[in-house]
Amino acid sequence: MRLFTAVTLGSTIEAHATATLERLHALAPRARWVPSHGVHLTLVFLGEVEESRLPELGEVLHPVSLRHKPLTLSIEGGGSFGPPRHPHVLWAGVGGETATLEALQQDMAAALEPLGFPRDKRLYTAHLTLARSKDPKGDPAFVTCVRALEGRHWGEARVEHFTLFESKAGRYLPRLEFPLGEAP
């Protein structure tokens, strides 16, 4: 199974994502756009994992969920990763309690490391991936998309749990869910 942990953002953000992606698709038609259903913020990518390890992952992730309280995030603005004139990834920005989200991500990464899931060397930056370039040299149309995202506010989402997802055939299947801040 190809696994990752993430927080979901609810129906209001998902509706804004659908409308925004439809509008942006016309600006960068050659990009590989993410599906608007199941909009999420990835916390830790685990990669290929045997299904037999799900109980072990649950035992490690449950205490992480207890140490963190629910939080509120907003989606606003956007940007790109890669060279300024030929970006590779288009993203929407995340606001609100991002320090709380980053603390959750760091705690989770630390808890998973002893199980053989190395921490990402890059600093975690919360963002909502919207599209990826199909061209390895990047997609100059993303520059126009970034301008179109300026000043846009998609709303707020109350995050009350995180989920261990399986990525399978372009769909995200929840395997385990962990409420934040709840007693066992």
Q: Among residues 55, 89, 26, which one has the least CA distance to residue 176?
A: 55
Confirm if 96 and 73 have CB atoms less than 8 A apart.
yes
Alpha helices in the chain (DSSP H): 10-25, 54-66, 98-112, 141-149
Distance from CA of residue 128 to its chain's centroid?
Answer: 5
CA distance linking residue 142 with residue 88, whole number of Å: 8
Query: Which of 16, 25, 37, 40 does the annotation list as catalytic?
Result: 40
Confirm if 108 and 61 have CB atoms less than 8 A apart.
yes
CA distance linking residue 153 with residue 17, whole number of Å: 11
Query: Which of 25, 88, 127, 161 does the annotation list as catalytic?
Result: 127
User: Catalytic residue at 62?
Assistant: no
User: Catalytic residue at 37?
Assistant: no
How crowded is residue 8: how many other Cβ atoms within 10 Å of its Cβ? 21
How crowded is residue 3: how many other Cβ atoms within 10 Å of its Cβ? 22
Q: What is the DSSP letter of 134?
A: S
If you count them, how many residues does the chain have?
Answer: 184
Residues carrying an active site annotation: 40, 127
